[in-house]
Amino acid sequence: MVGQVNGVADTSGQPKIGVLALQGDFAEHIHMLGEIGICAVEVRKVEQLSEIDGLIIPGGESTTIVKLLGMFGFIDELHRHVDSGMALWGTCAGMIVIARDLADPYPTPLNLIDIGVARNYFGRQVDSFEAELEIDGMDGAPMRAVFIRAPIVQDTGDDVETLAVIPATDDGRPEQAVAVKSGRVLATSFHPELTEDTRLHTLFVQLAEEARTDASRRASLHHLTEETPSTV
């Protein structure tokens, strides 16, 4: 088993992945990453952002997550690290958190990916469902996706790639994007961590590996670390 150094996975030759552990289903993401050989770390302190190559913001309660991110000083540092090239993935509530704007009046999202999002698009908890999704660029069978009080992507910026959509329905619901990517930032409406399919987690590890080996990011990270030395 891979150990940890200063609270961060000691994965020589592997990207270091963190999962925001302030609220939500972070443990399920850590389990899925373990299934593909990545020993992820629970991120609870802003200083840990300097120690990782990629961060997952999990499903949970988006208003609570945004409030806690502000309370613990994450918001500005998240912008700085994502701008410097760190990989980021928001799932369900995490997608809401990192969106540009929302159809709803709250919470105020962080604008880390150029998408407009509508919360609880499919209805309440009792309206949860599963669907087979074709994921662009992903080999193999369609992915079984779990939607629980799920958001959808209403609009995307020019640099945002749509990876998966829910088809239009006979009752008039239009086709909607449910997985998007912009650079090293990934967002999904659904919960890949609640299945046994590790392909999206593998994709995110690849994005984090790009961040780990990016020379310009390493220079930016060195500058950020000098400004905000780690106390983890």
Exposed / middle / buried, residue 199 (Cβ in 10 Å: 0-12, 13-18, 19+): middle
Question: Is 39 among the catalytic positions?
Answer: no
Amino acid at 201: H
The continuous run of DSSP H or E covering 143 comes out as strand 143-147
Question: Is 193 among the catalytic positions?
Answer: yes
Catalytic residue of the set 77, 81, 193, 201: 193
DSSP state of 66: H
At 111, list the tokens.
């604008």
Whether cis (ω within 30° of 0) applies to the bond prior to 107 is: yes
Length of the chain equals 232
Give the whole-angstrom CA distance, residue 20 versus residue 45. 9
Nearest to 28 by CA among 59, 7, 6, 49: 59
Catalytic residue of the set 92, 134, 161, 175: 92
The pairing of strands 8-9 and 17-20 is: unpaired
Give the whole-angstrom CA distance, residue 12 versus residue 14. 5
CB 144 within 8 A of CB 197: yes
Catalytic residue of the set 191, 201, 222, 223: 191
Question: Is 92 among the catalytic positions?
Answer: yes
Cα Rg of the chain (Å, integer): 17
- List residues with catalytic annotation: 92, 191, 193
